[in-house]
Structure 1
Amino acid sequence: MARNLSNVAASLLPYSTIEAAASGNVDAINAVLKHYERYIAALATRTLYDKNGVPHLCLDEEKVCWMRTKLITKILDFKVNKTA
């Protein structure tokens, strides 16, 4: 199935936001975290089973915090190439 390129472009973070986040702008970092919020939640969702074997989806808050911290660390370590 082919993806519509306009949908892909709409889901990308603007370069200016990435550049600002890499330079330490708190609002830009929050925008990046907001952009990846659903993805992080999907990765941190675990299936737990009760005593009857019924599955329940649970969000692992510790894993969410770990991934958010890791993302912030990588954002601040990111080097933006400034080409003229």
Structure 2
Amino acid sequence: MSNKVKNNHLLSYPLIALASSGDVDAINTVLKHYEGYIATLSTRQLYDESGNPHLCVDETLRRRLETKLITKILAFNVA
């Protein structure tokens, strides 16, 4: 499974098929592929006690998004 992610940054069909069948390594590869996007979606602007803004990843939201992705992967019907 060395070409799980091709040069065009798309997930391969065999990887998707393995992930949808419940293969843990394939699911982890899909999560790794989308980790930057998930981190971007879960980034929030927080303020410290002085009122200075800071960007940080909301870990609860990040975990919820990962869980939702895993749920959708396992429910995906590969034709």
TM-score by length of 2: 0.86
Q: Does 1:52 align with 2:50?
A: yes
- CA–CA separation in structure 2 for the residues paired with 1:74 and 1:33: 12
SS at match of 1:53: coil
Tell me how large the CA RMSD over aligned residues is: 1.5
Q: Which has the larger radius of gyration?
A: 1
The runs of at least 4 aligned residues of structure 1 exceeding 3 Å deviation read: none
Number of paired residues? 74
1:64 to 43, 62, 65: 62
- CA–CA separation in structure 2 for the residues paired with 1:26 and 1:41: 21
TM-score by length of 1: 0.81
- CA–CA separation in structure 1 for the residues paired with 2:43 and 2:36: 11
Gaps of 5+ in 2: 1-6
Gaps of 5+ in 1: 1-8
